[in-house]
């Protein structure tokens, strides 16, 4: 899935054209490219700049502004731990420490909108509630299988 | 079992319900029903908003809908054994859903259908009062619609509380041309989830509100800006838009009225600041979500330089019922200058967390103690943060404050988007104050100096206070930083970050002083 080359450049251009190469669709386009490639490869960004007729600098500005976009592949599973107040109140700090101790790679989220069922995590865009250390281990084991 | 007509069951498809196993419960129910050769009709409704009871399974019976919860996949077998499909008792039985006190005591206007209907069934929507407001609006003149909304007293539910009718009037008065309606679904405040519940549980209601808004101000294009942390809500909204297009409720000729309106769903990319009006418009245009100086206000010069209405999801979702039942009906709820209902959201360390829609004027104590039933952990409650990460930490001694825009401001707090996050004993308020500054540092758009630099200096100063370094002088310095942020920031992000910091110092000084003694 994660490889760049001429074929993928064609795919990036297709995605741009699906949005009529409108510069206003840049964020939608970046989402789709990242969903398909796993991250935003440099040559894909060049291709987008060309297709939308905007500068590479503008694209770089957008990619670096938003927390969602990554310019390198994930090293592990796509795990987000909610670190905002409602989850803090029910132990998300401990959960994050547990994740760190166990070398799970994760990103902080603020917030996942599951504030009555915290601590919340999101794995591959699926939301989980009332996640303690044991449940996190179990969820990641299931994903790893 | 004898052949019979299918029994209707409801298992929420809401992402919070699914976060604690609703999908697995629904699957188990289908499997067992199939193996026992029982005909069931399983509807994935929205959530009723009683999250401690999720997954909440409901069965349609002659007396009404009976609830069972919280149901785990392992409970399903025993539910079938006691014949729950005919409303028989089980240890998880909760009686009629509508009579559960938490639900029965609410005044559901905006969320009237949520959790009750099949979210993407248009027939169900109409059978439960949907489209009445839109049809009324299509028969009214734009001026009449704006007047109705103004008279209803509706104010911005995103937190700013600006009168919706006045905003609409400004856009209506702009010369005809391309105008836009933007639904702000970038619900980033911790402790809030009402927009998400509505989008997943009654998406057509938001669409109806947007089409009415378009008719009222002369806009033909709408955008729904959904945060990327809500992939299910975005998906539901996209499907809802497709269904409305197919039903000619969107397009060039809505419901045969000649009115045109089209809606696009746009996804954010993990930036809190994009919930700010001007920043959101930049993001919809495909740019960095940087805040712009106001004026010009978006109602005059907004998306792509055109007049644009930006309303919160809940403001727009309140429009259909206002049109359907009239301004007076809505106005009769609430008190003072806060009219109608507010969707309060109870989160954090709370036993009965969820959504409580009720008229303005209820006290914080009623919400936390009567609805919420105190803390989930069983520890004593220490504080509630009201109105999101930029809201004040309220001590228990202030819990009698009435929940409305003005009364909360008088009490040194703010309503915000209606979220209440409960913290119990053990929370370190100096750490919470530090987090507020850290959050501002992470999420600042970087445009103005007070917010970009002030947040970092604020965090550093709190670090020193927390290790007991020159506590008095540093608290004074922190106060100055807070004043600078409040007065010098371009938008509410920097402007309100001092609120949690200063309220924590004011009410929980011991947490800051204690550090000094060490």
Q: What is the DSSP string of B72-96?
A: PGGGHHHHHHTTGGGT---TTEEEE
Give me the numbers of helices (H) and strands (E) for chain B, helices first please.
Answer: 22, 16
Q: Mutation target for B interface from A20, A27, A49: give the one with most B CBs within 10 A.
A: A27
Q: Does A110 touch chain B (CB under 8 A)?
A: yes
Listed in order, the ranges of chain B carrying CATH 3.10.20.600 are: 337-424
B190–A116 CB contact, under 8 Å: no
Q: Give A25: exposed, middle or buried? Use CB within 10 Å, 0-12, 13-18, 19+.
A: buried
Q: Are the beta carbons of B51 and A116 separated by less than 8 Å?
A: yes
* C-alpha pair distances (Å), B211 with each of A142, B28, B133, B138, B431: 44, 39, 10, 10, 45
Determine the distance from the C-alpha atom of residue B99 to the mean position of all C-alpha atoms in its chain, rounded to a whole number. 24
Provide CATH 1.20.1440.230 ranges for chain B. 429-517
Block residue for tokens 């919160």: B312
By CA distance, what is B383's nearest residue in A? Answer: A89
SS3 B424: strand
CA angle centred on B285, ends B279 and B288, rounded to 5°: 50
End-to-end CA distance of chain A: 19
Kindly report the backbone phi and psi dihedral angles of residue A3, in degrees, each rounded to the nearest multiple of 5, phi listed first.
-155, 140
Q: pTM of the entire structure?
A: 0.97
DSSP labels for B124-145? HHHHTTTTHHHHHHHHS-HHHH
Nearest alpha-carbon partner for B331 in B167, B155, B150, B153: B153
Beta strands (DSSP E) in B273-399 are 308-312, 334-335, 338-339, 341-348, 354-359, 381-386, 393-395
**Shortest alpha-carbon distance between residue B154 and chain A (Å):** 25
Q: Is A69 on the interface with B (CB under 8 A)?
A: yes
Q: How far from the centroid of its chain's Cα atoms is residue A37's Cα?
A: 11
Rg (CA), chain A: 18
Q: What's the per-residue H, E or C state across A66-81? A: CCCCCCCCCCCCCEEE
Confirm or reject contact between B198 and chain A (CB < 8 A): no
Of the candidates B87, B113, B297, B129, which has an alpha carbon nearest to the alpha carbon of residue B200? B113
Give the residue among A64, A1, A5, A72 at the shortest CA–CA distance from A39: A72
Alpha-carbon span B506 to B300, nearest angstrom: 40
So what's the ipTM on this one? 0.95
Q: Measured between CB atoms, does B101 come within 8 Å of chain A?
A: no
Subunit contact A66:B270, Cβ cutoff 8 A: yes
Compute the nearest-CA separation of B255 from chain A (Å): 28
Please tell me if residue A27 touches chain B, with a CB cutoff of 8 Å: yes
Q: Which CATH number fits domain B7-104: 2.160.10.10, 3.40.630.10, 3.40.30.10, 3.40.50.700?
A: 3.40.30.10
Q: Are B187 and B195 in contact (CB under 8 A)?
A: yes
CB atoms inside a 10 Å sphere around CB A91 = 18
Give the distance from CA B249 to its chain's centroid. Answer: 25
Would you state the structure tokens that stand for residue B241, as one six-digit string? 């838009």
Chain B hits for A68, CB-CB cut-off 8 Å, are 228, 268-270
The verdict on A87 touching B (C-beta cutoff 8 Å) is: yes
Domain B337-424: assigned CATH number: 3.10.20.600
* pLDDT tens digits in sequence order for chain B, 518 residues long: 444 589 999 999 999 999 999 999 999 999 999 999 999 999 999 999 999 999 999 999 999 999 999 999 999 999 999 999 999 999 999 999 999 999 999 999 999 999 999 999 999 999 999 999 999 999 999 999 999 999 999 999 999 999 999 999 999 999 999 999 999 999 999 999 999 999 999 999 999 999 999 999 999 999 999 999 999 999 999 999 999 999 999 999 999 999 999 999 999 999 999 999 999 999 999 999 999 999 999 999 999 999 999 999 999 999 999 999 999 999 999 999 999 999 999 999 999 999 999 999 999 999 999 999 999 999 999 999 999 999 999 999 999 999 999 999 999 999 999 999 999 999 999 999 999 999 999 999 999 999 999 999 999 999 999 999 999 999 999 999 999 999 999 999 999 999 999 999 999 999 997 554 44
Give ranges for CATH 3.40.50.11540 in chain B.
122-331
Among B19, B52, B189, select the one facing A120 at the smallest CB separation. Answer: B19
Q: A–B: how many Cβ contacts below 8 A?
A: 151
What three-state secondary structure class fits A92? helix
- Is the domain B429-517 a CATH 1.20.1440.230 member? yes
Model confidence over B424-481: pLDDT tens digits?
999 999 999 999 999 999 999 999 999 999 999 999 999 999 999 999 999 999 999 9
The matching CATH number, chosen from 3.60.130.10, 3.40.50.300, 3.40.50.11540, 3.10.105.10, for B122-331 is 3.40.50.11540
CA distance B421 to B204: 29
CA atoms within 13 Å, Cβ hemisphere of B443: 29
Residues B118, B121, B122, B128, Cα dihedral to 10°: -20
- B343 contacts in A (CB within 8 Å)? none
């Amino acid at each position: 899935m994660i490889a760049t080359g001429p074929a993928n450049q064609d795919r990036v251009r297709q995605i741009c054209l699906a949005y009529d190469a409108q510069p206003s669709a840049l964020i939608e386009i970046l989402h789709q490219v990242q969903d398909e490639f796993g991250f935003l490869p440099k040559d894909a960004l060049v291709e987008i700049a060309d297709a939308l007729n905007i500068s590479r600098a503008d694209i770089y500005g957008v990619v670096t502004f938003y927390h969602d976009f990554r310019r390198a592949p994930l090293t592990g599973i796509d795990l987000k731990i909610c670190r905002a107040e409602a989850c803090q109140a029910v132990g998300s700090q401990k959960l994050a420490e547990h994740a760190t101790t166990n070398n799970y790679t994760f990103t902080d989220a603020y917030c996942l909108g599951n504030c009555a069922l915290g601590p919340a995590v999101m794995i591959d865009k699926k939301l989980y509630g009332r996640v303690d250390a044991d449940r996190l281990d179990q969820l990641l084991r299931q994903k790893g299988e | 079992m004898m052949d019979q007509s299918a029994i209707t069951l409801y298992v929420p498809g809401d992402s919070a319900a699914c976060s604690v196993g609703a999908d697995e419960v629904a699957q188990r129910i289908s499997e067992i029903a199939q193996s026992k050769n029982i005909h069931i009709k399983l509807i994935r409704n929205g959530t009723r908003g009683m999250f401690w009871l999720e997954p909440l399974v409901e069965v349609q019976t002659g007396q009404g809908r009976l609830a069972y919860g919280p149901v785990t996949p392992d409970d399903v077998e025993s539910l079938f054994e006691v014949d729950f499909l005919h409303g028989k008792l089980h240890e998880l039985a909760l009686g009629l859903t509508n009579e559960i006190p938490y639900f029965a005591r609410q005044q559901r206007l905006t969320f009237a259908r949520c959790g009750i209907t099949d979210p993407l069934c248009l027939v169900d929507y109409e059978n439960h009062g949907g489209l009445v407001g839109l049809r009324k609006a299509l028969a009214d003149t734009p001026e009449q619609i704006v007047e109705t909304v103004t008279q209803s007293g509706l104010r911005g539910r995103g937190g700013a509380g600006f009168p919706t009718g006045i905003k609409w009037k400004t856009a209506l008065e702009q010369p005809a041309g391309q105008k836009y309606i933007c639904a702000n679904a970038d619900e980033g405040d911790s402790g809030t989830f009402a927009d998400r519940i509505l989008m997943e549980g009654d998406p057509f209601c938001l669409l109806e509100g947007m089409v009415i808004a378009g008719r009222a101000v002369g806009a033909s294009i709408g955008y729904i800006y959904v945060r990327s942390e809500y992939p299910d809500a975005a998906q539901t909204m996209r499907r809802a838009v497709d269904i409305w297009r197919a039903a000619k409720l969107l397009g060039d000729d809505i419901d045969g009225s000649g009115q045109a309106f089209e809606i696009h769903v746009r996804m954010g990319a993990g930036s809190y600041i994009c919930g700010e009006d001007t920043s959101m418009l930049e993001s919809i245009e495909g740019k960095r979500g940087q805040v712009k100086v106001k004026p010009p206000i978006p109602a005059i010069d907004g998306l792509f330089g055109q007049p644009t209405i930006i309303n919160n999801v809940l403001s727009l979702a309140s429009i259909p019922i206002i049109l359907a039942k009239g301004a007076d009906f809505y106005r009769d709820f609430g008190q003072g200058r806060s009219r109608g209902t507010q969707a309060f959201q109870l989160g954090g360390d709370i036993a009965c967390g969820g959504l409580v829609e009720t008229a303005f004027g209820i006290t914080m104590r009623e919400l936390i103690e009567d609805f919420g039933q105190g803390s989930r952990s069983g520890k004593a409650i220490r504080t509630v943060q009201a109105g999101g990460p930029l809201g004040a930490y309220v001590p228990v001694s202030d819990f009698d404050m009435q929940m409305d825009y003005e009364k909360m401001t008088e009490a040194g707090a703010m309503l915000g988007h209606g979220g209440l996050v409960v913290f119990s004993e053990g929370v370190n308020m100096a750490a919470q104050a530090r987090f507020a500054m850290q959050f501002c540092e992470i999420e600042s758009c970087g445009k103005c100096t007070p917010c970009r630099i002030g947040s970092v200096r604020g965090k550093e100063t709190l670090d020193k206070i927390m290790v007991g370094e020159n506590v008095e002088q540093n608290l004074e310095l922190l106060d100055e930083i807070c004043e600078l942020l409040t007065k010098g920031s371009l938008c509410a992000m920097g402007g309100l970050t001092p609120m949690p910091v200063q309220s924590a110092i004011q009410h929980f000084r011991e947490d800051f002083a204690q550090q000094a003694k060490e």
